[in-house]
Amino acid sequence: MKLFYFCLFTFAFFLSSACRPAAAPVTVSNRPVSINDRPTTNVPMPPSKPMAEMSWTTAEDKVQKLGDLKGKAVILDFWATYCPPCIEEIPHLNSLLAKHGAENLVIVGLNVGGAEDLPKIPAFTAKTKLNYPIAFPENELSRFIFSDRSDIPQTLIIGRNGKIIKKIIGFNAAVQIELDAAVEEALKAN
C-alpha cells in the first residue's frame, strides 16, 4: 500500500510540475535573440563602451573618436581591397559626400582586410579615387560591428546626434536606396 501511495504522490507531483509555463528564453551568446532565425533588429549588439568613445587610427597615425564628429552625420564603411561589393560602393559614397558636403557628412573608410591588405591600400585608393579618408578601426569597434556577421562591406550610419541610424551589410541597387534614406535621416537627426 505504501508503494501505491508513493507512486500516486510521485505521479501527482510530476503532473503538477509539468503543467507550468515554460521559462523565458535565455541568451547564451552575443548574437541578438531571433525568432525562427530571423533577426529582430538590424542594429548591432550594444557596445561595451560608449559609441562616442569608439575610435580609429588614420593613415597619418592619428586617433580619432566618433565623439569628435558630433553635429555631423557619419558613415563608417568597413571594407577591404579584395571585396567586390566594397569596390562597387565607393563611387556611391563619393557621390553622397559630394551631394551633402564635408561640412554635413563625414565618411571614413575603415579597412578590415588584415595585414595582407595593408600594402595594397595605396595603389587601391589611387585607382578607385576615394574622396574620403581611410583609417583602421580599434578592436572594440570591429567587435561591435562584426558581432552578428563578418560580411563586408558593413556600413554604419550615425546621426548628427551621435545615435546609430542604421547598419547595412553588403551593397547593391536596393542597398543603395536604403543607404540614401538612412543618410537623409542621419542629416535630420538632432
Q: Residue 7 pLDDT > 50, yes or no?
A: yes
Domains and CATH numbers, the chain: 50-188 (3.40.30.10)
Quote the pLDDT of residue 22: 43
Q: Is the peptide bond before 84 cis (omega within 30 degrees of 0)?
A: no
20-38, pLDDT tens digit by residue? 444 444 444 445 555 445 5
Q: Which amino acid is at 135?
A: A
116-157, pLDDT tens digit by residue? 999 999 999 889 888 999 999 999 999 999 888 888 999 999
Burial of 110 (0-12, 13-18, 19+ CB in 10 A): buried
Is 190 or 177 the better-scoring residue by pLDDT?
177
